[in-house]
Amino acid sequence: MNHLLLLAAAEGGPVEQIAKTFGANVPALIANAISFTLVALILKKWAVGPIQTMLEERRRLIAEGLANADKTKAELANAQAKSQELLNQAGLQANKIIEEARAASAKISEVERQKAVADAADILAKARQAGDAELVRLKGELRKEFGKLVVAASARVSGKILSFEDQQRLAEETNKQLAA
């Protein structure tokens, strides 16, 4: 009684007939089931398993890489924000410094300008004083020269030699007239 299916059939029935036709029998079925189970477990452990492990490992690494990329992106954005903030702060400080420098410069410039104006006024005053003094001196010399010329011209016109007193008198009169 070798030819049987698991479904069990009456001897000589249609199922047994089918089983006989296709060579189905319980021992062969059990042997094949054990064989297939072992093969499936072996393939699971040494064929499909390692590849699946590798694929999972790669998926994990890719996920980690993406997570790291996101983290790096966030850090980059953070760094950019910080650098922008620093730039803004530096800009503000620079503006402040420039304003201060500008104010200081204006102040110094004003002081210097005033100093220059004062100096210039001083120089002008001195120059004016010097000019006045020179003018006075030149006028005096001119009077002297003119007095001498008047004396000389009087001597030539009169044809006589003028005395020292006449010369003194002529010079004084000339000076008086020039001064008037």
Partner 1 sequence: MRLIRIFLALTTWAWFSFAGFAAEHGAHAAEGAAHAEHASEGLPTAAPVLFHVGPLPVTNSMVVTWAVALLLVVAVRVATKDMQMVPRGAQNFWEWLVEGLYEFLEGILGADLVKRTFWFFATIFLLIVATNWFGLLPGVGTIGYGVQTAHGFHVTDPFLRGANADFNMTFAMSLVFFVCWTLWAVQANGIGGFLKHIFAPKGGTTGPLFVLMVVVFFAVGLLEIVSILFRPVSLSFRLYGNIFAGENMLEAMTHLGGPVFGWLTSLPFYFMELMVGIVQALVFTLLTAVFTLLICAHDEEHAHEPGTAHH
Which residue in 13, 17, 31, 118 binds partner 1 (CB under 8 A)?
Answer: 31
Buried b / exposed e along 53-85 (16+ C-beta atoms within 10 A) = eeeeeeeeeeeeeeeeeeeeeeeeeeeeeeeee
Out of 8, 13, 17, 28, point to the residue binding partner 1 (CB under 8 A). 28
Q: Which residue, 27 or 159, has its beta carbon nearer to partner 1? A: 27
Q: Are 1 and 19 in contact (CB under 8 A)?
A: no
Is the Cβ of residue 20 or residue 148 nearer to partner 1 in the bound state? 20
Tell how far CA 155 is from the center of its chain.
91
* Pairwise CA distance, residues 10 & 133, whole Å: 160
CA–CA dist 110, 3 (Å, integer): 124
Q: How far is the CB of 38 from partner 1 (least distance, A)?
A: 8
Q: Does 14 bind partner 1 (CB under 8 A)?
A: no
Number of residues forming the site for partner 1 (CB under 8 A): 33
8 binds partner 1 (CB under 8 A): no
Q: How far apart are the first and last CA of the chain?
A: 175
Name which position in 8, 40, 76, 136 contacts partner 1 (CB under 8 A): 40
22 scored as a contact of partner 1 (CB under 8 A): yes
CB of 6 to partner 1, least distance (A): 7
CB of 70 to partner 1, least distance (A): 21
Residue 162 in contact with residue 170, Cβ under 8 Å?
A: yes
Dist CA 142 CA 105 (whole Å): 52
* Three-class secondary structure of residue 2 per DSSP: coil
| Binding-site string for partner 1 from residue 56 to residue 95, where x marks contact by CB under 8 A and - marks none | --x--x----------------------------------
List interacting residues with partner 1 (CB under 8 A). 6, 21-25, 27-37, 39-40, 42-44, 46-52, 54-55, 58, 61
